[in-house]
């Protein structure tokens, strides 16, 4: 058994109007190739970059939301490397003095307890252009070159694929609430890198680490989870057979569902970082930073605390319900529409609705039903109009058809049989047809009550009110 030691880097495109160091529009999606470019982002000789104030503001707000220290004095640096989609031959980034550092994010750990994931740094840099390969030719589109990128780097605090997944989901929620990133991974607005090593318990005890492998360009949270799980399996098998892990950079092959070696790992020395000579150090005032802090919106942890305090929802459920904003909004709307305890709404959402969504790989925002429809369904169950099991089936149909619960109950005759006379007839017929079982029951085999109950439920297609069936049965059997 090995312990996985995992760190994450997330690159998030900021939702600024213009690019990081020039006035070109940063909203390049579906624009004709090379239409959002100027001498600065085309890297013409003699041009000078100008720092985008909106990108700085969005980065500082993110840093504050991630409990980071904000550097009032930070420095941009040149990261030198050659690549066709990088016309300058270097990327302006931050290296030794990032804008935000030493923060944290709370997630649910694998043991179900809250776990603090350290945020080592969050810094600003610029995106590269895009190479497009068609018919043996390579084309370059520089619309993306210079779009502001926020890089968020964790400490190696994650221990499993699931923890990494939960970290990303919560981080994306925070970025969306702040309005700094679209969260749109299909459009490349968020890209992830994972670094991972395995170590034995003995190594862990003396603070040693195994050899680290990097997996780059992960374009979905699922790819992150799958590639981590794969690497843990691969490295475990390798170490178990006496092999050694090589320090390499890998990619994730979605079709073959495995990691593939891309190159041997480069070290920071390879990039020859040095302070960007064309930009002054970035100086911020603490008053400005504090003013931003005062305007931060309600973040997931605060929202969870409010659900516990205002709605009486359990702490664990409150965490689950606030990790994604759409889910949190949905819960709150349903809880307001429902007259009973909000915890009941939480139970139905987490216990039933999430299972249905998971089975369909669906998204709560795309559900054809409204939160008030769930509130109506729970009310029908509370009133005894349908029993809980029928209620679950009605919810399944609501999710598929988008029909309100009352219409489904009505159309399918699912209303609970709570009419005593009707039930009594069913029971009398049943007992008359099973005189032998009745005799056994009366002779002391009282466990047969469950069998009688089951028969009645079967004959009423599960719609009888169980408490009523039980009392009617007992009244007759114990005569």
Binding site for Zn ion (CB under 5 A): 22, 24, 38, 40-41
Token digits of residue 349:
């959402």
Minimum CB separation from Zn ion for residue 263, in Å? 30
Token digits of residue 170:
């919560």
**Residue closer to Zn ion (CB basis): 49 or 98:** 49
**Residue closer to Zn ion (CB basis): 23 or 422:** 23
Q: What are the Cα distances from residue 327, in Å, to 135, 353, 395, 413?
A: 44, 11, 17, 31
Minimum CB separation from Zn ion for residue 22, in Å? 3
Minimum CB separation from Zn ion for residue 148, in Å? 12
Minimum CB separation from Zn ion for residue 339, in Å? 56
Minimum CB separation from Zn ion for residue 236, in Å? 47
Exposed e or buried b per residue across 426-446, where buried means at least 16 C-beta atoms within 10 angstroms of its C-beta? bbeebbeebeebbeebeeeee
Q: How far apart are the first and last CA of the chain?
A: 62
* Backbone region of residue 43 per phi and psi (left: phi > 0; alpha: psi in -120 to 50; beta: other values): left
**Residue closer to Zn ion (CB basis): 17 or 412:** 17
Q: Tell me phi and psi for residue 259, to 5 degrees.
A: -85, 150
Would strands 190-199 and 130-134 be described as parallel, antiparallel, or unpaired?
A: unpaired
Minimum CB separation from Zn ion for residue 25, in Å? 9
Integer Cα distance of 43 and 420 in angstroms: 84
Minimum CB separation from Zn ion for residue 92, in Å? 13
Q: What angle do CA 357, 358, 361 make, to 5 degrees?
A: 85
**Residue closer to Zn ion (CB basis): 40 or 189:** 40
Return the C-alpha torsion angle 197, 200, 202, 207, nearest 10: 10
Q: Tokens 């049989």 map to which residue?
A: 417
**Residue closer to Zn ion (CB basis): 24 or 472:** 24
**Residue closer to Zn ion (CB basis): 126 or 332:** 126
**Residue closer to Zn ion (CB basis): 19 or 225:** 19
């Amino acid at each position: 058994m090995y312990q996985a030691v995992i760190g994450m880097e997330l690159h998030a495109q900021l939702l600024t109007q213009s690019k990081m160091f020039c006035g070109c529009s940063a909203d390049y999606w579906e624009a004709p190739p090379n239409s959002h470019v100027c001498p600065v982002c085309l890297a013409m000789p003699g041009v000078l970059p100008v720092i985008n104030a909106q990108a700085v503001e969005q980065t500082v707000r993110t840093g504050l939301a991630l409990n980071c220290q904000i550097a009032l004095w930070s420095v941009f640096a040149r990261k030198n490397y050659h690549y066709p989609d990088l016309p300058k031959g270097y990327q302006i980034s931050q290296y030794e003095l990032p804008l935000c550092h030493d923060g944290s994010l709370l997630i649910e750990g694998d043991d179900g307890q809250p776990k603090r994931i350290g945020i080592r740094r969050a810094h600003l840099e610029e995106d590269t252009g895009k190479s497009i390969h068609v018919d043996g030719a390579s084309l370059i589109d520089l619309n993306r070159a210079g779009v502001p990128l926020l890089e968020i780097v964790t400490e190696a605090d994650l221990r499993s694929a699931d923890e990494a997944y939960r970290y990303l989901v919560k981080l994306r929620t925070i970025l969306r609430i702040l309005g700094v990133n679209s969260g749109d991974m299909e459009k490349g607005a968020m890209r992830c890198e994972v670094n991972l090593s395995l170590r034995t318990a003995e190594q862990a005890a003396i603070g040693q680490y195994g050899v680290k492998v990097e997996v780059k360009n992960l374009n979905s949270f699922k790819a992150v989870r799958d590639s981590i799980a794969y690497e843990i399996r691969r490295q475990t098998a390798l170490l178990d057979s006496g092999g050694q892990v090589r320090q390499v950079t890998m990619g994730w092959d979605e079709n073959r569902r495995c990691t593939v070696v891309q190159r041997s790992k480069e070290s920071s020395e390879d990039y020859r970082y040095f302070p960007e000579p064309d930009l002054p150090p970035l100086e911020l005032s603490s008053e400005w930073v504090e003013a931003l802090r005062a305007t931060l919106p309600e973040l997931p942890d605060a929202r969870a605390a409010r659900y516990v305090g205002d709605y009486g929802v359990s702490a664990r459920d409150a965490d689950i319900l606030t990790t994604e904003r759409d889910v949190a909004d949905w819960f709150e709307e349903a809880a307001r529409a429902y007259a009973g305890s909000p915890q009941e709404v939480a139970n139905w959402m987490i216990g039933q609705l999430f299972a249905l969504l998971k089975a369909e790989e669906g998204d709560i925002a795309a559900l054809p039903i409204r939160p008030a429809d769930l509130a109506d369904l729970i009310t029908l169950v509370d009133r005894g109009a349908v029993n809980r099991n029928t209620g679950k089936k009605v919810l399944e149909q609501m999710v598929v058809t988008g029909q309100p619960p009352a219409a489904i109950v009505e159309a399918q005759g699912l209303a609970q049989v709570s009419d005593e006379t009707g039930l009594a007839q069913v029971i009398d017929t049943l007992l008359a047809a099973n005189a032998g079982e009745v005799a056994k029951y009366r002779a002391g085999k009282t466990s047969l009550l469950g069998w009688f109950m089951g028969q009645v439920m079967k004959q009423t297609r599960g719609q009888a009110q169980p408490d009523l069936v039980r009392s009617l049965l007992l009244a007759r059997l114990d005569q």
